Amino acid sequence: MPYIAMFSLAFKQFIRSRAAVTGLAFILVTGVVSLLIGQRFLNGQQEAVSFAAQQQQAHIQQHVRFFDKEMGLLLYYLHFSLVNTTDPLAGLSIGQRDVNPSIQSVTIRNLENQLYDTDLHNPLNLLLGNLDLGFVIIYLFPLLIIAFTYNLLSEEKEGGTWNLVRVQTGQPLRLLWLKWRLRMLAVFAAVALLMILAVIMLSLPFNQALLAVALLFTGYLLCWFALSFLVVSLKKSSGFNAVSMLSLWVVLTVLLPALVNSYISNAYPLPEALSNVVKQRQGYHEKWDMDRQVTMAPFFAHYPQFRKYPVPDEAFSWLWYYAMQQMGDDDARQETEKLQEKIRLREQASRKMAMVLPPLHAQLSLNNLARTGLQDHMHFLDSTRRFHERIKLGCYPGIFEEQPVASVDWDSFKVEYYREETPIRWTVLLLPLILTGGILFGWGWYNLRRQGHPAS
């Protein structure tokens, strides 16, 4: 039979099956819904940012009017915002952006008391998760692949057509391979369609990150094709294939990630988060009842440039006040560093385990590319520290010299934006998937070759 005719016949047979059509339709509809949700998420973020920008200006103007006499008192109240810009790719993978705030609004007081304030959210929404394209690709597409392929060989055998094929073509594996490619074509056409829609609906720019996402999706789904190829190559019954593939899906996307998560959160618990909050509160407040030298000596050691300002013995002084605030951060420094170290260890451990678990690897890498992961948030916190330090040191002289409030150009304090630039590490991104997929596929191929040739 000519190749083209065989192909078109197989194509007709495939597309006429109810499972194929419902599966594809379901996944496309879910995919489009996920993109709508991504679009809404991006719009919400944008609105929040422009609202914050507007709000900051009104907030500063109003407070400058109320507290026009003392610079120290005014700056006690003023909030300054830093925005972690949202990449359009976040519309594909909302990641941790729904848990962690994208806007930090801080005063020049003790930072550790402000840094970890959470956003408003409905915890049940967080628990049940977002429906973004990442979910569709990581969870649902593998199910489609399983549904398309689990009975490719067994169906022919159970229907009694396999022997016919063997006798007629002499190359039975060629037919299997053809049907296989047909299903891959259908799946990747659906992915391509969703990606094109994503580019249009979320106005994704054509850049390396988009290419990386596309390759990540492709590599991840090829891994699933390879896995199901391996199961099919065992030549068991349709029922066995269905049960074992679903079990593999449950193990890979639900159980193992949950086990890894349980291991990591138990291996690296974070008591430092709580001791940090206790220490910084005590570090600041206890200084009110201590000799001023206890505060001023370490403060001047930290910032020698302010030694020139005098501290009165008894009367209230803003220099003393802000030095006490600083002690909150300084006393909790050890806990802060320990916390950061622990989180780094958590990141590292996750990444290592993800190397051998494609769903985990796909999710973490996707979050990384979309800048919605933990690493991105940690870098944002670091940048908030630098932002706070810069504003604080910029304001200190004006406070300590008791300059008039009107001497500062308050309109110049605009909302600032942070954008993390991380280069894409292509090998780390793709190699684990290529290796996993290659090994699984090779194993399956070996099985078929070994059993396929003898004329049994």
Q: Identify which range of 9-17, 137-145, 397-405, 428-436 contacts other proteins by CB under 8 A.
A: 137-145
Q: Is 159 in the site for other proteins (CB under 8 A)?
A: no
Task: Check: CB of residue 118 under 8 Å from CB of residue 101.
Answer: yes
Three-state SS letters, 84-122: ECCCHHHHCCCCCCCCCCCEEEECCCCCHHHHCCCCCCC
Q: Is 117 in the site for other proteins (CB under 8 A)?
A: yes
Indicate the residue among 266 and 427 with the shorter CB distance to other proteins: 266
- Token duo for residue 73: 């008192």
Angle ∠(378,384,386) on CA atoms, nearest 5? 110
Could you give the CA distance from residue 295 to residue 311 in angstroms, rounded to a whole number?
11
Q: How far is the CB of 143 from other proteins (least distance, A)?
A: 7
Q: How far is the CB of 162 from other proteins (least distance, A)?
A: 17
- Token duo for residue 286: 């206890």
Q: Identify which range of 2-10, 100-108, 294-302, 318-326 contacts other proteins by CB under 8 A.
A: 100-108
- The full DSSP string for 187-222 is HHHHHHHHHHHHHHHTT---SHHHHHHHHHHHHHHH
Indicate the residue among 177 and 268 with the shorter CB distance to other proteins: 268
Q: Is 238 in the site for other proteins (CB under 8 A)?
A: yes
Residues 276-305 that bind other proteins (CB under 8 A): 277-278, 281-282, 285, 288-289
Q: Comparing C-alpha atoms, which of 174, 180, 171, 164 is closest to residue 11? A: 180
Q: How far is the CB of 164 from other proteins (least distance, A)?
A: 21
- Token duo for residue 8: 């078109």
Q: Is 184 in the site for other proteins (CB under 8 A)?
A: no
Task: Check: CB of residue 116 under 8 Å from CB of residue 273.
Answer: yes
Q: How far is the CB of 434 from other proteins (least distance, A)?
A: 22
Indicate the residue among 35 and 448 with the shorter CB distance to other proteins: 35
Could you give the CA distance from residue 184 to residue 205 in angstroms, rounded to a whole number?
27
DSSP state of 355: T
Residues 21-40 that bind other proteins (CB under 8 A): 37, 40
Q: Is 373 in the site for other proteins (CB under 8 A)?
A: yes
Residues 239-278 that bind other proteins (CB under 8 A): 239, 242-243, 246, 250, 253-255, 257-262, 264-266, 269-271, 273-275, 277-278
